[in-house]
Amino acid sequence: MRVELTVNGRARADEVEDRLLLIHYLREVCGLRAANVGCDTTSCGACTVLLDGQSVKSCTVLTAQAAGREVTTAEALASDAGLHPVQAAFQQEHGLQCGFCTPGMVMAAVGLLAENPHPTEAEVREGLEGNLCRCTGYHNIVRAVLTAAAAGPGGPASRGAGHDEHEVSA
Ligand code: FES
Ligand code: FES
């Protein structure tokens, strides 16, 4: 089937199999490798991208379901001006170690903050519960999302947010 959609701001039209999952379309057809495949059970969130601005696990979405819609992956977050505020906050707060979960975690955080720009710590933990990380213990990830929320659209660098700004329970 022919599918037309927008990926990271660029209109695309591709012939795909009806059963092609969005994660495989992004990685194998578009060559966008930020979103990862970490499971086959819809449980890890490593494949998280934005679909019309809402975070989705792209291993649970058929490419056909994205027809006519806008997909955003982690590749599109940074700009010539630098890292996206959420990326900058993850960097500042050491919200990653091996990095495998990070693109999905960041996209989930971007989606979360779009829906709720000023979440509580509990809301961040609840919002990211579908994204698993085997390395960090989540402490610094939660701190990073709270830092990004506190800093606003300009990101943590513009506000000079410090490492001790948030009290985050382990
Ligand atoms: S690859 Fe694990 S939830 Fe999609
Ligand atoms: S940083 Fe390694 S899985 Fe999250």
Contacts of 144 (CB under 8 A, 6+ apart): 86, 89, 90, 92, 93, 95, 109
% helix / strand / coil in the chain, to the nearest 5?
Answer: 40, 15, 45
Minimum mean pLDDT range among 2-11, 109-118, 156-165? 156-165
Output the average pLDDT for the chain. 92
Query: What's the pLDDT band for 153 if we cut at 50, 70, 90?
Result: confident
Task: Tell me the backbone φ, ψ of residue 155, rounded to 5 degrees.
Answer: 85, 165
Whether 22 shows a pLDDT value over 50: the answer reads yes
Q: In this structure, which ligand is nearest to the CA of 57?
A: 1
Residue 15 CA to ligand 1 center (angstroms) comes to 24
Mean pLDDT value of segment 78-91: 96
CB of 84 closer than 6 angstroms to any ligand 1 atom: no
CB of 65 closer than 6 angstroms to any ligand 2 atom: no
Query: What domains can you pick out in the chain, each with its CATH number?
Result: 2-75 (3.10.20.30), 85-165 (1.10.150.120)
CB of 56 closer than 6 angstroms to any ligand 2 atom: no
Taking the CA atoms of 77, 78, 80 and 83 in sequence, report the sign of the dihedral they define. Answer: positive
CB of 136 closer than 6 angstroms to any ligand 2 atom: yes
Measuring from atom 2 of ligand 2, which residue has the nearest CA? 98
Residue 169 CA to ligand 2 center (angstroms) comes to 19
Q: What pLDDT shows up at residue 157?
A: 62
Q: How many Å apart are CA 168 and CA 94, to the nearest integer?
A: 14
